[in-house]
Structure 1
Amino acid sequence: MTDIILETRDLQISFGGFLAVKNVNLKIARGTIHAIIGPNGAGKTTVFNLLTKFHAPTAGRILFNGTDITSWKPAEIANHGIVRSFQISAVFPHLTAMENVRLALQRRLGVSYHFWRSKKVLESLDQEAVARLDQVGLKDFAHLRAVELPYGRKRALEIATTLALEPELMLLDEPTQGMGTEDVGSVTDLIRKVSKGRTIIMVEHNLGVVSKLADTITVLNRGEVLAEGPYEVVSKNQAVMEAYMGVSAEEAEA
């Protein structure tokens, strides 16, 4: 039996009578990359918000490692190893790359608010911070302010801060959004590299990225699961072509 790290059962949420997510059932296998795709308004980010408890579901359950976490708060989710990145790079622009990662290390070690700690004590985290930067190819940029980094490297820095929290499950929300071809390739390679020994759920519009990375793909449309499976299967599904790509199977073959 496949080891399931995260499962949703009939997950739903309504906003003012509008059913945004309806009966979504996911089973995320441990150690895999699971992509969630779909057209605009399909409910992808809403599902992410439900999984990380930015929204409370109207109905249904969420289980993490077999434990029902449906009623947990966002901080509880993060403390138990579920960490999310956002569509817009969420780093501190005027701190160096190393300082950004060091803040994440402080969060993990429970000293985030110990502002009175000496500089020497905080500098003891520098070695691990640099090691995390090295994982994402930013070791040579450790002392550069985040605002000075190109966009693709800012996203790499965000992944480094996520890794510093030692997540068991990483949720990446549009990791290649707004990037040029070169940056997309670099970040794709980076996600593949850091996925070793981890589980990743990602929302991604770029089907080229999804085809290279995802072990399993869930396609959402109008808040419901339209199809699920490996890219080779999902990409040939007629309903997916019509809803996501805007073409029928006959048009795709023409």
Structure 2
Amino acid sequence: MESQFVLETRGLTKEFRGFTAVDAVDLQVRQGHIHALIGPNGAGKTTVFNLLTKFLTPTRGEILYRGKNITAMKASEIARLGLVRSFQISAVFGHLSVLENVRVALQQKLGNSYQFWKSERSLHALDEQAMQLLAEVDLESFADTLAIELPYGRKRALELATTLALDPVVLLLDEPTQGMGSEDVDMVVALVRRAAVNRTVLMVEHNLSVVSRLCDRITVLARGAVLAEGDYDSVSANPQVREAYLGSEAAAVEAQP
């Protein structure tokens, strides 16, 4: 019987020399959801991401993808299955154009792996697909711009496009709006919402306004363990969550029109 969860952890634990960074985390991400992982600094969010994408090996516990146990798989195998971590796996080359960056990512997906010596004609065969991906992140008009010349928010959009080129089933976003002003945040929220169509998204995000606007479900971590889970309204009203993480910040978000 196929699992109702596209991504799941059971008792996921990571210890470092006696320190438990992730403590028996049970995470269940439904197909088609945008699911947020939040918590205070040191709560274990990034460690969970590193375990899911096999940059770290669990001390104990299991990771299941579409009901299949992938705990022992390598990072490259995980990515080929469609579990892709944005802003980590995606490669942006500053002195290539925006279009060329996406074309390189498409080469990787096709197994051509950065064959820069291939003929221009064969590479241009990927241009139509690359332009479609640029349209998905509103970068069509920047196709000929060098990546290094892009504003910060647009550069993050390009990173998202190169990740989408890998055709992810589950897209893991690690703080996609970090360091952005409100205008760029609004742009990235719109892009993530668009990228989530026919995909599942798991994201670590500190901006609670972003979480409230985007996410179907939220898991709150504290000291490496799951403190609460639910939709934004239920999680933000939880006294333990407010004490551990949200506090006055949640009140500020709730007060926004």
The TM-score, its normalising length taken from structure 2, stands at 0.93
Displacement of 1:194: 1.2
CA RMSD after TM alignment: 2.2
Is the contact made by 1:20 and 1:222 (CA closer than 8 Å) also made in structure 2? yes
Q: Does 1:215 align with 2:216?
A: yes
Structure 1 pair 158–113 and aligned structure 2 pair: CA distance change class (3 A): closer
1:17 matched residue in structure 2 = 18
1:114 matched residue in structure 2 = 115
Distance 2:52 2:168 in 1: 14
Distance 1:48 1:86 in 2: 12
1:128 matched residue in structure 2 = 129
Structure 1 pair 216–97 and aligned structure 2 pair: CA distance change class (3 A): same
Distance 2:92 2:46 in 1: 20
Match of 2:221, SS?
Answer: strand
1:190 matched residue in structure 2 = 191
Distance 1:115 1:237 in 2: 53
In structure 1, the gaps of 5 or more residues are none
1:226 matched residue in structure 2 = 227
Match of 1:226, SS?
Answer: strand
Is the contact made by 2:53 and 2:85 (CA closer than 8 Å) also made in structure 1? yes
Report the residue type matching 1:206 in the other structure: N
Distance 1:86 1:155 in 2: 8
Q: Does 1:49 align with 2:29?
A: no
Report the residue type matching 1:216 in the other structure: R
Structure 1 pair 112–214 and aligned structure 2 pair: CA distance change class (3 A): same
Q: How many residues align?
A: 252
Is the contact made by 1:35 and 1:217 (CA closer than 8 Å) also made in structure 2? yes
Structure 1 pair 113–138 and aligned structure 2 pair: CA distance change class (3 A): closer
Distance 1:195 1:106 in 2: 23
Displacement of 1:239: 0.5
Is the contact made by 1:91 and 1:158 (CA closer than 8 Å) also made in structure 2? yes
Displacement of 1:2: 7.7
Displacement of 1:117: 1.9
The TM-score, its normalising length taken from structure 1, stands at 0.94
